[in-house]
């Protein structure tokens, strides 16, 4: 049996008893091109290929990670809910009301 662990809280996820959620993320360098119109489709893989061609002569192994990264996370129901409420993980500032005295 495959064992799943929530990447958010570290709790074990039993697929027989609860739903396991998968989050997939991609982060890639974007070309400076005009925004597509509604009738145009963007070929992101083509964009990445063009960037890699530009960087082909560069002799730095870290360039690949700077251009494209992907990640996959398993989440339990509670961590999924928290992720969807705040996907960028920004700290939530409390809105304090001060009197005018």
- Full-model pTM: 0.59
Q: What pLDDT was estimated at residue 99?
A: 72
The encoded tokens of residue 63 equal 């360039």
- Phi, psi (deg, nearest 5) at residue 59: -105, 55
In this predicted model, which residue has the larger pLDDT, 89 or 35?
89
Read off the pLDDT of residues 41-81 as tens digits, 9 standing for 90 and up. 778 788 778 777 776 666 666 666 777 889 999 999 999 99
Neighbour tally for 20: CB within 10 Å: 15
> Which residue's entry shows tokens 């082909």?
56
Averaged pLDDT of the chain: 82
- As beta bridge partners, residue 70 has 26
């Amino acid at each position: 049996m495959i064992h799943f662990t929530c990447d958010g809280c570290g709790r074990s996820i039993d697929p027989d008893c609860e739903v396991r959620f998968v989050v997939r993320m991609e982060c890639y360098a974007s070309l400076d091109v005009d925004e597509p119109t509604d009738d145009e489709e963007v070929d992101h893989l083509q964009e990445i290929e063009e960037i890699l061609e530009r960087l082909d002569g560069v002799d730095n192994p870290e360039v690949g990670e700077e251009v494209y990264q992907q990640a996959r996370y398993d989440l339990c129901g509670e961590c999924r809910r928290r992720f969807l409420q705040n996907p960028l993980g920004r700290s939530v500032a409390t809105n304090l009301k001060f009197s005018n005295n």
